[in-house]
Amino acid sequence: MLKKQTVWLLTMLSLMIVLSVYYMNSPSDGELAFLGENNQNEETTGSIPDETSGDVDEVDNPSDDVGEYSSTEDDLFTMIRMQLEETRSLRREQLEDIFASSEASTDEKYQAYDEMQQIDNISSKELIVEETLKSENEYTDVLVRTKDDNIIVTVKADELSKTEANEIMQMVYDEFGTKEVEVKFQPNN
């Protein structure tokens, strides 16, 4: 019961933080900040099956992966990170409950422990790629997300050349292995 209350409290606290950031940064003249159909994101997608291939396709429509948020563009990456962290924390807590349970079999405990290690491993790899891209290329912000077997990299930059996209894809390939990589950029304000 205490863990459910803790999860509920953390969820409400996260919601309050997100809303307070939104209200502090929202326009005061009655207009709402909205990222939707008028957003001009340009995307570059592709995969790197081996080190010599660097096929990059351009996609004109914005992706639904980021979603629509009532927030400024500066807060978008922060909100996505918070939601991702909250989702992973909840899943990790469920796995810890299974691992600590006296009713779970040894196999179930092993699977729970293995999944916890995978979550930690993915999170650390995402952080490494984000920090490396920010420091090497001086991007304003970088967001790396793992969705199933796809890696989605969103870079906040005024423009992103195909060469830069290929370099990003190669870096992700080096860190994560052979997975589908999607590189997008979001223009700076």
pLDDT digit string (tens) for 10-51? 888 888 887 777 767 765 554 444 444 444 444 444 444 443
Q: Give the model confidence (pLDDT) of 153-175 as tens digits.
A: 999 888 888 999 999 999 999 99
CATH code at position 37? 1.10.287.4300
pTM above 0.85, yes or no: no
* Structure-token pair, residue 106: 């040894």
| Overall number of domains in the chain | 1
Can you point out the beta strands (E) in the chain? 42-47, 57-59, 141-147, 150-156, 180-186
Give residue 9's domain range: 2-186
Q: What is the mean pLDDT of the chain?
A: 77
Q: Does residue 141 contact residue 129 with C-beta atoms inside 8 Å?
A: no
Alpha helix (H) residue ranges in 2-72: 2-25
Output the pLDDT for position 74: 62
Q: Give the model confidence (pLDDT) of 66-93 as tens digits.
A: 444 444 666 788 898 899 999 999 999 9
Output the pLDDT for position 124: 92
